[in-house]
A and B are shown apart, each in its own frame.
Chain A
């Protein structure tokens, strides 16, 4: 049992950081080896989990949800009402998605997602977050100067478009629904899904490219 003692855990961190080898790979290896030796996890499970995140869980899931919302108005409504429930229709629920909220870009609103206090992200629908999403620079700047941040991603917005920044401070997670690009009339959801990028679902991209 833990005593929830902040000073004790801070001291433990200091001790570990100064006594463990400085090479990150060796630190992770030490944790993995001891966990395996103690029968807490099998090494094969770690291998499989890494493979699962590389091949089966990723932005393709979010893209499928977005494309469905463009072609199926009833689904779009369910997604906007309760995204955490709506994604269960795809079996995509998992880590950090029960309280998922979908926010839609419109002609005059652009949504941008950040977590300034840690790195909250809807992992099970977008996969692992990009390193920049977890970086101090993005976390510090996205709330204060979202337009300068968007410029670095190649997105320039006029003052006729409002930027709404969502700072994920509780257990809600955010998925941006980008606008459906023009020139895609009649496309099916599968073809549309190929246009939807991870960054568009975080909000660091706005106009999707029709390819």
Chain B
């Protein structure tokens, strides 16, 4: 979707706050911890990202980063029936008291961090359509759903610089489908993307359905 999240190459932004730390407020660090420690019964990482993309564009552009995470975590739990809207808005659970969760100590959280490591590879039956060194052209049509082909890279010529085998295809993952597609790194020149005369390039990791032989 051409949502508010697709920021690459957009103009009008001012200077970068180069000295900004990872967290300025205590609630930001707590939201990070909540997102990594409150279990979510269903969904995929791609659906999680797509849900943020579907925020109202004004909300997306103006709310702090971890407020968007907070709203998204709540929306997912309401969507999946973990919370009701009434519970989150009143702050009071409607059902009887559930038994408290067992706390994790430092070793427990370190183990949970390591267990977060996720392998996205998928065994493919089809051989890859492209090989390192091939020139490819990206799709020039917007996707109605989730896609990881940014608008700035649509309809451009690039060179395949790596093939990574099959990886879970994000566009399908956002629909709850577990489908693999061949994944490539494609390098685009700054001249091709922006018409500039620097020697620079931009490399993107793109799935095979985004690409056509040039």
Q: A residues near B, CB below 8 A?
A: 1-2, 4, 6-10, 12-17, 19-20, 24-25, 27-46, 48-54, 56-57, 91, 93-99, 114, 116-119, 124, 127-132, 134-141, 143-144, 146-147, 149, 152-153, 159, 162-172, 204
Contact = CB atoms under 8 A, between A and B. Distances in A.
A195 B17 CA distance: 23
Interface in B77-118: 78-80, 82-83, 85, 87-89, 91, 93, 97-106, 108-110, 113-118
B206 interface: yes
A166 B153 CA distance: 13
B66 to A, nearest CB: 7
Contact of B8 (A6, A56, A117, A132): A117
Contact of A169 (B9, B52, B59, B150): B150
B93 A52 contact: no
B170 interface: yes
B74 interface: yes
Contacts of A39: 98-101
Interface of B: 1, 5-11, 13-18, 20-27, 29-34, 36-39, 41-43, 47, 49-52, 54-56, 59, 61, 63-67, 70-76, 78-80, 82-83, 85, 87-89, 91, 93, 97-106, 108-110, 113-120, 145, 148-150, 152-153, 164, 167-168, 170, 174-176, 183, 185, 187, 193-194, 198-207
B113 A95 contact: yes
Nearest to B55: A13
B49 A52 contact: no
Contacts of A36: 100-101
Contacts of B13: 136-137, 140-141
Given A19-B89, A128-B23, A136-B13, A49 B33 contact: yes
A196 to B, nearest CB: 17
Given A2-B47, A46-B34, A131-B22, A98 B118 contact: yes
B67 A2 contact: no
A76 B205 CA distance: 23
Contacts of B176: 2, 4
B170 A170 contact: yes
Nearest to A15: B85
A93 B114 contact: yes
Contact of A167 (B72, B85, B168, B203): B203
Contacts of A117: 5-8, 49, 148, 150
Contacts of B101: 36, 39-42, 45
B177 to A, nearest CB: 9
B88 A167 contact: no
B93 A165 contact: no
Given A137-B13, A137-B14, A37 B116 contact: no
A12 B37 CA distance: 22
Given A10-B54, A42-B103, A169-B205, A98 B119 contact: yes
A50 B29 contact: yes
Given A28-B27, A30-B88, A50-B30, A170 B167 contact: yes
B194 A56 contact: no
A118 B16 CA distance: 17
Contacts of B59: 13-14, 17
6 contacts: A42-B101, A49-B36, A56-B110, A128-B29, A137-B13, A165-B200
